[in-house]
Chains A and B, each alone.
Chain A
Amino acid sequence: MAQARTAPGRSAPGRAALTRSRLAAVAALAAILSLSLIAASLLGARGGGGGGVSPSVAVHGASQVERLLQGIPQEAGVLGEPAAPVTLVEYADLQCPFCAEWAVTTFPELVDRYVRAGLLRVELRGLAFIGPDSETALRTALAAGEQDRLWHVVELLYLNQGGENAGWVDDELLRGIARSVPGLDEERLLAEPGSEAVGARLAEAAAAAEAAGVTGTPWFELGPTGGDLRRLEVSSLGPGEFRAAIEALLAG
């Protein structure tokens, strides 16, 4: 640096010019690359790149559902520790408004209070009697179960539920849900609803519902894990009666 200051007069402007031209070249290259990346990102987010429609933001309730279920084990249709002493079985149609009501009023409290503590496991037995949207929704949820994320998809479907058979379970919603659940493989989720494994689970739940005499949803069964599950009849879908029944089983 000392040499630079005492260098002959003609080399200093030469060096400055070289520095300026270098900076200009670098700035131009950087500008072109950055703008290309930004354009690619915007096109990708709007679905222009792939031709498919994809929402630019996560679906409604994504972070709320992630907070609720974060860190809780899931396997296929079961949420909670396999060794939890009490099991709650829910028969539900994902288009049923009362099922959605239960999912937002009572389910989160049961998860926070009992499932997270390893005291309760909740099993979904999905039915699709309301119509075509029920079956699409259920098959997608069961496909998510193959990736152990069924409950994320179920909760997000309830939170984004539309009118019965209004065609609300469309590709855009399902892609939005797939992208909102961390760790869920979108392409696999959308490819699997027609798989044999999903068909088998669907049939299994329908058979169980018939055996249990289910006549409407939501329909609940509660009991000791691995033991005799009994129908839990409630007068309201609020958390009170569920808490009382679970506490009684835990105490006994």
Chain B
Amino acid sequence: MTDRGLRIVVGGLALAGAAIAGYLTHARLTGTTVTCATGGCETVQSSAYSEVLGLPVAVVGLAAYLALLGTALAANDLARLTGAALALVGVVFGAYLLAVQVVVLDAICQWCLASDAVMALLAAAAVGRLAPDRVAALLPRPLRTATRPAASR
């Protein structure tokens, strides 16, 4: 898969993540209740763990997704390295917050789970941008040939 292809994947996932984090940020800032099938969203959103460095975690997440979207727009090394590092931080911090939900709060927030899944996929794509050749080797053959330049056929 080409860097361009991975950029599209990173960009799309960053938009999805930004939508989730944006929804949680909006709910937090306006004081509205989050739609919640798991029943624990309010407990999680109102717990002391919902803030880091004085900022709501949802806001931090939104900023991270927007920054990741920014890295998808550029094709240089700085964008690739920043994107991979950011997404890995997102995955690790998301895993920590998931552990807090299960162990400390005994409440699960479905939006956080959705964000964790998006961030995990995003990290795979963002790290993949560091070694697009290896990503190509992992893909099924039709996808590989589809991205091969016409001249080499």
Contact = CB atoms under 8 A, between A and B. Distances in A.
A2 B148 contact: yes
**Interface SS of A by simple majority:** helix
B88 A30 contact: yes
A70 B42 CA distance: 11
A104 interface: no
Given A3-B152, A58-B43, A66-B42, A44 B88 contact: no
A1 B54 CA distance: 46
Given A62-B46, A66-B42, A33 B85 contact: yes
B47 A182 contact: no
Contacts of A37: 52, 89, 93, 96
Interface stretch (A21-29, A90-98, A127-135, A189-197): A21-29
Contacts, number: 113
Interface of B: 30-33, 39-40, 42-43, 45-49, 51-54, 57, 81, 84-86, 88-89, 92-93, 96-97, 100, 104-105, 107, 127, 130-131, 133-134, 136-137, 144, 147-149, 152
Nearest to B135: A1
A182 B45 contact: yes
Contact of A63 (B42, B54, B144): B42
Interface string A1-31: 1111000000000010001001101110111
Contacts of A19: 130-131, 134
Interface in A40-66: 40-41, 44-47, 49, 54-58, 62-63, 66
Contacts of A30: 84-86, 88-89, 92
Contacts of B133: 1, 4, 15
Contacts of A44: 48-49, 51-54
B127 A26 contact: yes
A1 B42 contact: no
Contacts of B96: 34, 37-38, 41
Interface in A63-102: 63, 66, 70-71
Contacts of A29: 85
Contact of B46 (A38, A45, A70, A182): A182
Contacts of B92: 30-31, 34, 38
Contacts of B104: 56-57
B52 A41 contact: yes
Given A23-B127, A26-B84, A40-B52, A58 B89 contact: no
Contact of A26 (B33, B130, B144): B130
A95 to B, nearest CB: 25
A182 B33 contact: yes
A229 interface: no
A195 B79 CA distance: 52
Contacts of B130: 19, 22-23, 26
A186 to B, nearest CB: 10
A34 B53 contact: no
